[in-house]
Amino acid sequence: MRGFFAVENRRLSYLDFGGSGAPLLALHGHYNEASAFAPLAQALAPHWRVIALDQRGHGASDRAESYERDDYISDVAAFHQHVKAGPAAVLGHSLGGVNAYQYAGRYPDRVTALIVEDAGAAVDVDWSFTTSLPRHAPTRDALAAALGAAAPYLECSFRQSTDGWGFSFDIDDTVASQKALSGDHWTDWVSVSCPTLLIRGTRSDELAAGHAREMIARRAGHARLAELPAGHVVHHDAQTQFAATVRAFLSDPAEPGEHFSTA
C-alpha cells in the first residue's frame, strides 16, 4: 500500500508492504526508492512488516530545496511518527544507512534494533557516476543500455515522461545530497545504543573491510559485522543471504557482537 504525508509543505511517500508482523522501517540509498525493498519484504513476511520511505527527492516524494543531514533525519522522524510504529527496528542502505544510524543515535528511545547496509562512519562520496548518468533516453531499453551493468540497480527508479525515459530522482539534487552526505559521522555511530548489525559486501567499493571492522570495534559488544558475497548493493547481489542475515539478527538482536562471513 502506498501512503503519503506532509512535512513542511512537502509531500513524502512510503510503501507499507503490510502484514501483521513487527514493523521494520526501511531507508533506501541514492538512485533508489522504497520499492527496492519489495523482495526483502516478501522474504521477511509474515514475521516482519516492512514499511519503506521514499526519501526526499526520490520515488513519489517531492523534491526539496535542501538535502542536508538534518533534513533527512527530520524526514525519518516524521515518517516514523506518521506510521505509528512505536519503537521499531530500522534498516538503511548506503545513504539510508547513514540516515538510519544518525536517527538511532539521536532518538535512542525510538529504535530497538539497527541494520546498516554498506555505509561507513566516515563517508567520501564520488559523485562522478551521478553526473555521468543520462538525463533522458527515448525508450526504457535505451536507458537501460546507456547504463550498462548499472541498469539492474537503478531500474526501480526508471520513469517515463513526455520527453522519454529518465529517473524518479533528479541528478542535480542527487549530487547535492551526496556532497552533504560526505563527512565524518563517527560521533553519531558511536552514540547508537541499540543492538546493531553492519552488513558489508565483500566486493564493496564504498565500505572498506578495515573501516567496517573499526566501526564494530568502537561499539564492541553492541554491534556485529556480516560480510556477504556482494558489491555495494548487498540486498540486490545476495538477495537470499541478505534476507536470511537480517532475519537471523532480528530474531535475536541482543546476541553478543561477532563477525561472520559467507563469502
pLDDT, tens digit, 9 for 90 and up, residues 108-117: 999 999 999 9
Mean per-residue pLDDT for 111-124?
98
What are the tens digits of pLDDT across the range 195-221?
999 999 999 999 999 999 999 999 988
Mean per-residue pLDDT for 121-134?
96
Mean per-residue pLDDT for 85-114?
98
Q: Is residue 250 part of a domain?
A: yes
Q: Is residue 151 part of a domain?
A: no
Q: Is residue 109 part of a domain?
A: yes
Q: Is residue 156 part of a domain?
A: no
Residue 85 pLDDT greater than 90, yes or no = yes
* Structure confidence at residue 194 (pLDDT): 96
Percentage of the chain modeled with pLDDT above 70: 97
What are the tens digits of pLDDT across the range 178-192?
999 999 999 999 999
Residue 263 pLDDT greater than 90, yes or no = no
Q: How far apart are CA 229 and CA 219, in angstroms?
A: 24
| Whole-prediction pTM | 0.95
Q: Is residue 243 part of a domain?
A: yes
**CATH label of the domain that carries residue 238:** 3.40.50.1820
Range of the structural domain that residue 238 is part of:
2-122+182-261
Q: Is residue 161 part of a domain?
A: no
* Structure confidence at residue 174 (pLDDT): 98
Residue 163 pLDDT greater than 90, yes or no = no
Strand order across the 111-117 sheet = 2-7, 10-16, 48-54, 22-27, 88-93, 111-117, 196-201, 223-228, 259-261
**Total tally of structural domains belonging to the chain:** 1
Q: Is residue 8 part of a domain?
A: yes
Q: How far apart are CA 215 and CA 185, in angstroms?
A: 11
Q: Using pLDDT thresholds of 50, 70 and 90, give the confidence band for residue 165.
A: very high
Residue 258 pLDDT greater than 70, yes or no = no
Mean per-residue pLDDT for 134-149?
96
Find out whether 225 and 198 touch, Cβ atoms under 8 Å. Answer: yes
> In which residue are the cell numbers 538511532 written?
104
* Structure confidence at residue 260 (pLDDT): 54
Q: Is residue 213 part of a domain?
A: yes
Q: How far apart are CA 82 and CA 84, in angstroms?
A: 5
* Structure confidence at residue 27 (pLDDT): 98
H or E element: which one contains 15? strand 10-16
Mean per-residue pLDDT for 76-100?
98
Q: How far apart are CA 222 and CA 166, in angstroms?
A: 42
